Amino acid sequence: MLHAQFDPTARRDLAVTVVDAKTRRDLTWQQLANAAGLSVAFVTAALLGQHALPLSAAKAVAALLDLDEEAVRLLQTVPTRGSVPGGVPTDPTIYRFHEMLQVYGTTLKALVHEQFGDGIISAINFRLDVRKVTDPEGGERAVITLDGKYLPTRPF
């Protein structure tokens, strides 16, 4: 049976343990995702406390990270989501995403509504991809794809 967490503390503490174990074992998020048999974005989010993992995936990553049965159980629970506490984020990388939404949020909203109508883009029926590509002008660029199902507003 699937169970839900209502206090984010346990999952947050487990995320700290996961990152420590990942670092000590010199593993990548991709290696953990490969073991879990799921996408790197989903597994990373799950291990950072934002998704529940299926039993087989939880066991696979726990084995690589040398986590106990309690961690396996906790990795399967539906978390209380939200990884950025209130206010403007202070971490520079997260802040830049916040800045992007501050600058382009209304543009994204206007374009989504113009092309799809009144509704939202799901963060549950969702895919995320992050790729590094060469910038023709020198250096590198980050290509981030947010792929969410459109859910129309339905009058009732």
Residues serving a catalytic function are 96, 99, 122
Cα–Cα distance between 41 and 150 in angstroms, integer? Answer: 20
Cα–Cα distance between 141 and 145 in angstroms, integer? Answer: 13
Beta carbons of 49 and 11 less than 8 angstroms apart: yes
Cα–Cα distance between 104 and 39 in angstroms, integer? Answer: 27
The whole-angstrom distance between residue 145's C-alpha and the CA centroid of its chain comes to: 13
- Which single residue is written with the structure tokens 């995702």? 33
CB atoms within 10 A of CB 24: 10
